Structure 1
Amino acid sequence: MLQLQAIRDNKSQIIEALKKRNLDASSLIEEVLTLDEKRRATQAQLDNTLAESNKISKEIGLLFKSGKAAEANVIKEKTVALKEASKNLGEVLNATASELKNLLYQIPNVPHKDVPAGNTEEDNQEVFREGDIPELSEGAQPHWELASKYNIIDFELGVKITAAGFPVYKGKGARLQRALIAYFLDKNTEAGYTEMQVPHLVNEASGFGTGQLPDKEGQMYHIGADNLYLIPTAEVPITNLLRDTILDNKNLPVLYTGYTPCFRREAGSYGAHVRGLNRLHQFDKVEIVRVENPENSYAALDGMVEHVKSILRDLQLPYRILRLCGGDLGFTAALTYDFEVFSTAQDRWLEISSVSNFEAYQANRLKLRYRDENNKPQLAHTLNGSALALPRVLAGIIENYQTPKGIKIPDVLVPYTGFEYID
């Protein structure tokens, strides 16, 4: 969430910047500032009341020591009223602070200056494109038909045992899925990321820490009996590893990677754009997470973009990079780049990665700090990216690598699969 001091000092600039998100935050910001004034005034009043109570308590002690018990008992009556006043002020302070925090949770991150204005994904800016789109033979098929033809993914069986959006990977399809996970993790660890295995369920505090709650509550699967959530991405548990932590500056950056299944209750829609692997409720993803000194976070973002590029070059898939516009930017992100792979059989681009800098927005929620050169705690910057999400990468491989002989496996994956073709 945004820092109160930043809102106080830069109210007009923040309101103007949030217009890139097509959000008029003026009334919300004013409400935050009004509540903040009330909170600070109540805190000052409480502090004064407690100070007066402490002063009187000391006076009472001195009077008793001096044998002036009657005088001490008269003054003692004042402390009763002061204690009651302190209790009431404390309750008002807690309620005001809670209301203020709930308002701050409603304000999205301020977009970086490079974020383009715009309302929808149509306004995103293409900033890079690489790779030749393959020319497929006549009769080339989309991945859902190839999955059935080669018996590698069974969508109907997933419906039988769970529901739509929960596919079953079979035989060489399962082996290819496992190969991609291992390859992504190896690629990430070679780049300096430490592999972490994390829980697939998180508590409310973790959801609030990275911003999935309360903004995306309806998109997550909730286990009511235990008040836990199935993770929508490994970003949530991995970033929360450092919640309520103060790091030494010399230990920055922190680089983590991890594989998890991901679970999303996204509202269903119909058509080829969500068919097969294009949109799932459960899917596998390998994530990269960084915690950085604010001075280095945008250089780190560029480095993450280059890292994802290197993976797609290894896979020899045609891709492009988009800088998301304000209207398409995630709630917690300051700047996001989306990677899309071109599916020749579907004749469309498929999103396969988002790489984002959250600046201090998540860190403020997480109380994730580092000590600067003066040993003073400062909020760190957090970043994360998909490296990569498997379903659409798998769809791109199945479709773009289809041949009359079968589906050719990208060379970089053959050591992991142990076979060169799915036939």
Structure 2
Amino acid sequence: MLDLKLMQKNPDLVRASLEKRHSKIDVREFTDLDERRKQLIGEVESLKAEKNAVGPEIAKRKKAGEDASDLLEKMGRVAERTKELDRELAEVEKAEQDWMMSVPNIPHESVPLGAGEEDNPVLRYWGEKPVMDFEPKEHWEIGTALGGLDFECAAKLAGARFSISFGWCARLERALAQLMLDTQTERHGYTEVLPPFMVNRKTMTGTGQLPKFEEDLFKLTDEREFYLIPTAEVPLTNIYADEVIPEEKLPVKFCAQTPCFRSEAGSYGKDTKGLIRQHQFYKVEMVNFAHPDHSYEALEEMTHSAERILEILGLHYRTIVLCTGDMGFSAAKTYDIEVWLPGQGKYREISSCSNCEDFQARRANIRFQPKDSKKKLYPHTLNGSGLAVGRCLVAVLENYQQADGSLVIPEALRPYMGGLEVVTP
């Protein structure tokens, strides 16, 4: 959530930000509400001042045995009007808060202008596309032919956009997640967490999934109002909700492997085959609570931590920076890492690393206490995939397939696979 004082003092800055994002949100809705709020506060304060002025006169008349009925009647009208204004003020303040909750973050000044994904510049490439002297297959064909993936069985159990893995494939996915966790904890200093996979409405609101993106979530249909997490970013970021972090603890770096649940609303007809767009998938997520002075250094470090997994696996990738029109709701700046998939003949996103600055911290009321100040400040929160496990499995299947239909296990994964080097038909 943006700073309310910033919105009140500099609505033109927010208006320019929304224009960069190609958003249709109208700042005049807020300014009209805020003007009405000020008017109501002025009226209420005027009535209270009138009540305070008349009160002593009523007491004086009563003490002298004089009639004060006219003043009492007047104060009755003042009290009733004050209640009406208080009710309207509460409604206006709620509408103002709801409006603020709907506004995306302000892009960092370094974010390139653009309308959509076609305007995202490539920052760097790593590695080379594999050279194959045969027609490469897509991952779902490879996994099915080798007996590791079964989409028909998953559809029987749960429906479309689910998968089930067997044997070597289930172990390979587990190996990928283990490699990611070991790398992020041992090499990059993240603390592993096993969080709840269901959270409440307040937690979802803290990271920006609610109220705007409710249709993208899976909600449990009972009175407790639990939501299945779409990413471990949600519980990890809210670990410090309504708390104050000592400055000396910053940065705090968490990572977690969890299932992620997405309704994929609006994606029907896209990526209907395979593992790319599933209702349930696994991901290793990184979250960093950083000092505002160092958060953009932390963003670079987080992005390199994600890239490192692909380098260990020998997978060709490129890193792009998202333009203003393609960034996520909570992000101030985002890098996407896209891995090359020879079976599909295209790059596909495998990680997204974002600096949300103080946007999520304000929503979740996360603060830190500087050593040299009594004033509590908001830390910057960052999140990134390190990596999407299912999509990494896709990349391994397509990049390490062989002409005879077999699959070579990347060397870095073999210790997690009991030494298995090749999966044969």
Match of 2:293 in 1: 295
2:400–2:409 contact (8 Å) kept in structure 1 = yes
How many Å separate the matches in 2 of 1:200 and 1:39? 40
Match of 1:39 in 2: 37
Match of 2:195 in 1: 198
1:20–1:116 contact (8 Å) kept in structure 2 = no
Match of 2:400 in 1: 401
Q: Report the CA distance between 1:91 and its aligned residue.
A: 1.7
How many Å separate the matches in 2 of 1:118 and 1:68? 74
Identify the range of structure 1 (353-362 vs 47-56) with the bigger mean alpha-carbon deviation: 47-56
Q: Report the CA distance between 1:208 and its aligned residue.
A: 1.6
Match of 2:23 in 1: 23
Taking structure 1 as reference, are residues 69 and 297 closer, same or farther at Cα in structure 2, changes over 3 Å only?
farther
Amino acid in the other structure paired with 1:184? M
Q: State the number of aligned residues.
A: 417
2:253–2:286 contact (8 Å) kept in structure 1 = yes
How many Å separate the matches in 2 of 1:255 and 1:291? 7
Match of 2:325, SS?
A: helix
Amino acid in the other structure paired with 2:202? A
Taking structure 1 as reference, are residues 80 and 393 closer, same or farther at Cα in structure 2, changes over 3 Å only?
same
Match of 1:187 in 2: 183
Match of 1:347 in 2: 345
Match of 2:206 in 1: 209
2:256–2:286 contact (8 Å) kept in structure 1 = yes
Q: Report the CA distance between 1:93 and its aligned residue.
A: 2.1
Q: Report the CA distance between 1:225 and its aligned residue.
A: 2.0
Taking structure 1 as reference, are residues 23 and 140 closer, same or farther at Cα in structure 2, changes over 3 Å only?
closer
Match of 1:246 in 2: 244
Match of 1:148, SS?
A: helix
How many Å separate the matches in 2 of 1:417 and 1:111? 43
Match of 1:391 in 2: 390
Amino acid in the other structure paired with 1:345? G
Match of 2:282, SS?
A: strand
Q: Report the CA distance between 1:380 and its aligned residue.
A: 2.0
Taking structure 1 as reference, are residues 137 and 51 closer, same or farther at Cα in structure 2, changes over 3 Å only?
farther
Amino acid in the other structure paired with 1:354? S
Taking structure 1 as reference, are residues 192 and 41 closer, same or farther at Cα in structure 2, changes over 3 Å only?
farther
1:136–1:400 contact (8 Å) kept in structure 2 = no
Match of 1:111 in 2: 107
Amino acid in the other structure paired with 2:213? K
Taking structure 1 as reference, are residues 349 and 90 closer, same or farther at Cα in structure 2, changes over 3 Å only?
same
2:356 to 352, 355, 358: 358
Match of 1:305, SS?
A: helix
Match of 2:276 in 1: 278
Match of 1:39, SS?
A: helix
1:157 to 144, 153, 160: 153
How many Å separate the matches in 2 of 1:339 and 1:170? 28
Taking structure 1 as reference, are residues 71 and 166 closer, same or farther at Cα in structure 2, changes over 3 Å only?
farther
How many Å separate the matches in 1 of 2:7 and 2:172? 49
How many Å separate the matches in 1 of 2:99 and 2:64? 51
Q: Report the CA distance between 1:44 and its aligned residue.
A: 5.0
Identify the range of structure 1 (348-357 vs 231-240) with the bigger mean alpha-carbon deviation: 231-240
Match of 1:338 in 2: 336
Taking structure 1 as reference, are residues 95 and 131 closer, same or farther at Cα in structure 2, changes over 3 Å only?
same
How many Å separate the matches in 2 of 1:345 and 1:210? 35
Alignment pair present for 1:138 and 2:134: yes
Q: How does 1:26-105 map to 2 (within 5 A)?
A: 28-43=26-41, 45-46=43-44, 68=63, 83-105=79-101
Q: Report the CA distance between 1:268 and its aligned residue.
A: 4.0
Match of 1:263 in 2: 261
Deviations 1:278-298 (A, max 9, x none): 211111011011112211111
2:107–2:332 contact (8 Å) kept in structure 1 = yes
Compute the RMSD of aligned alpha carbons.
Answer: 2.6
Match of 2:228 in 1: 230
Percent identity for Structure 1 against Structure 2: 39
How many Å separate the matches in 2 of 1:197 and 1:79? 60
Amino acid in the other structure paired with 2:200? N
Match of 1:5 in 2: 5
Q: Report the CA distance between 1:224 and its aligned residue.
A: 3.0
Q: Report the CA distance between 1:146 and its aligned residue.
A: 0.8
Deviations 1:179-200 (A, max 9, x none): 1122211222222222221111
1:221–1:230 contact (8 Å) kept in structure 2 = yes
How many Å separate the matches in 2 of 1:410 and 1:353? 20
Q: Report the CA distance between 1:251 and its aligned residue.
A: 2.1
Deviations 1:280-329 (A, max 9, x none): 11110110111122111111111111111211111111010011112211
1:60–1:76 contact (8 Å) kept in structure 2 = no
Match of 1:396, SS?
A: helix
Match of 2:331, SS?
A: coil
Identify the range of structure 1 (11-20 vs 212-221) with the bigger mean alpha-carbon deviation: 11-20
How many Å separate the matches in 2 of 1:79 and 1:370? 46
Identify the range of structure 1 (71-80 vs 162-171) with the bigger mean alpha-carbon deviation: 71-80
Amino acid in the other structure paired with 2:15? I
2:136–2:401 contact (8 Å) kept in structure 1 = yes
1:136–1:402 contact (8 Å) kept in structure 2 = no
